[in-house]
Amino acid sequence: MKERAVALVTGAAAGIGRAIADTLLDAGFAVHVCDADPQAVEQFRAQHPAASASVADIAVAEQVETLFALLRERHGRLDVLVNNAGIAGPTARIEDIEPADWERTVAVDLNGQFYCTRLAVPLLKAAGGGSIVNIASNAAFFGFPLRAPYSACKWALIGLTRTLAMELGPFAIRVNAICPGSVSGPRIERVIARDAAQRGMTSEQIRELYKRQSSMRLFVRAEDVAATVAFLVSDAGAAISGQALGVDGHTESLSNWMDE
């Protein structure tokens, strides 16, 4: 009997990560999720008793080491890594960003991807190949006024994705990035509220600005991102690597964020 493929999804107890975990479970994967929110992890465990879950802040290398020790103990292998965990970071002009806020954004949105990937690769090689999917952002295609640390990390993540696709391709490990636009849910509403306060506008005005950045005038659903992950890690995506795929209704520009 063929052994079930194992997927690790970070930041997956809620939001986009939760949609990804649910979709991979439905596709037949054995799934382990981690999240920095203990309450969300407990809720996930209660709703998915067949899956495994643990608390981990991926910005802390030691916690990632513990995460992978639990993964090896529970599943003994890894076939898919989805680097989903991330934070929005501050919404402010560069001169108003505190160094601590910059450093925390980089720690989660870039360093954490490195900490997870470096430990995942030996397991993927041992499995004979697999797939890494990095959840980036359409901010990786444009400058992103008022969101400098976030944008910088997402641009860096595309460079990491393409470099690792070259490095790991000979081992049958595919590496891709998904670049969502604004994704419906509590997180984008918090970003909208901060942006509105920064610019002296209403949340509804900012929401409409965001929608106009997309040719399709829409917010993406978490399920749209999850479906793209499922495709990339399936046999249908076997020849796709080194790509940064927009799931964003075609973003035209982010520059209008600074219009007065």
**What pLDDT shows up at residue 255?**
66
Give the H or E element holding residue 10: strand 6-10
What token pair was written down for 164? Answer: 């690792």
**What pLDDT shows up at residue 170?**
98
173 to each of 130, 155, 168, 205, 244, how far by Cα in Å?
Answer: 5, 22, 5, 43, 16
Give the H or E element holding residue 43: helix 38-47
**What pLDDT shows up at residue 256?**
58
**Do residues 40 and 14 make contact, with C-beta atoms less than 8 angstroms apart?**
yes
Is 150 one of the annotated active-site residues of the chain? Answer: yes
**What pLDDT shows up at residue 249?**
81
Q: Tell me the DSSP string of 89-147.
A: ---S-GGG--HHHHHHHHIIIIIHHHHHHHHHHHHHHHTT-EEEEEE--GGGSS--TT-
Q: How far apart are CA 237 and CA 70, in angstroms?
A: 28
Of the candidates 31, 29, 34, the residue with the CA atom closest to the CA atom of residue 4: 29
**What pLDDT shows up at residue 260?**
44
Q: Considering the candidates 141, 144, 150, 210, report the single residue annotated as catalytic.
A: 150
Q: Is residue 191 part of a domain?
A: no
Q: Is residue 204 part of a domain?
A: no
The arithmetic mean of pLDDT across residues 202-208, rounded, is 83
Q: Is residue 197 part of a domain?
A: no
Q: Is residue 173 part of a domain?
A: yes
pLDDT tens-digit readout, 90-139: 989 999 999 999 999 999 999 999 999 999 999 999 999 999 999 999 88
The arithmetic mean of pLDDT across residues 239-243, rounded, is 97
Query: How large a percentage of the chain has pLDDT more than 70?
Result: 97
* pTM of this prediction exceeds 0.85: yes
Measured in degrees and rounded to the nearest 5, phi and psi for residue 247 equal -120, 80
Side chain identity at residue 114, one-letter code: F
Neighbouring CB atoms inside 10 A of 260's CB total: 4
Q: Is residue 198 part of a domain?
A: no
**What pLDDT shows up at residue 2?**
60
pLDDT tens-digit readout, 184-197: 777 778 878 888 88
Q: How far apart are CA 77 and CA 110, in angstroms?
A: 24
Q: Is residue 195 part of a domain?
A: no
**Nearest 5°: CA angle at 114, between 10 and 157?**
90
Mean of the per-residue pLDDT values of the chain? 91
What is the CATH classification number for the domain harbouring 146? 3.40.50.720
Neighbouring CB atoms inside 10 A of 241's CB total: 21
The count of domains in the chain is 1
Please report how the helices 148-168 and 99-106 are oriented relative to each other, as an axis angle in degrees rounded to 10.
30
Q: Is residue 241 part of a domain?
A: yes
Q: State the residue range of the domain holding 59.
A: 6-183+220-251
Task: Tell how strand 52-55 and strand 30-35 pair up.
Answer: parallel
Q: Is residue 196 part of a domain?
A: no
pLDDT tens-digit readout, 136-171: 998 888 888 889 999 999 999 999 999 999 999 999
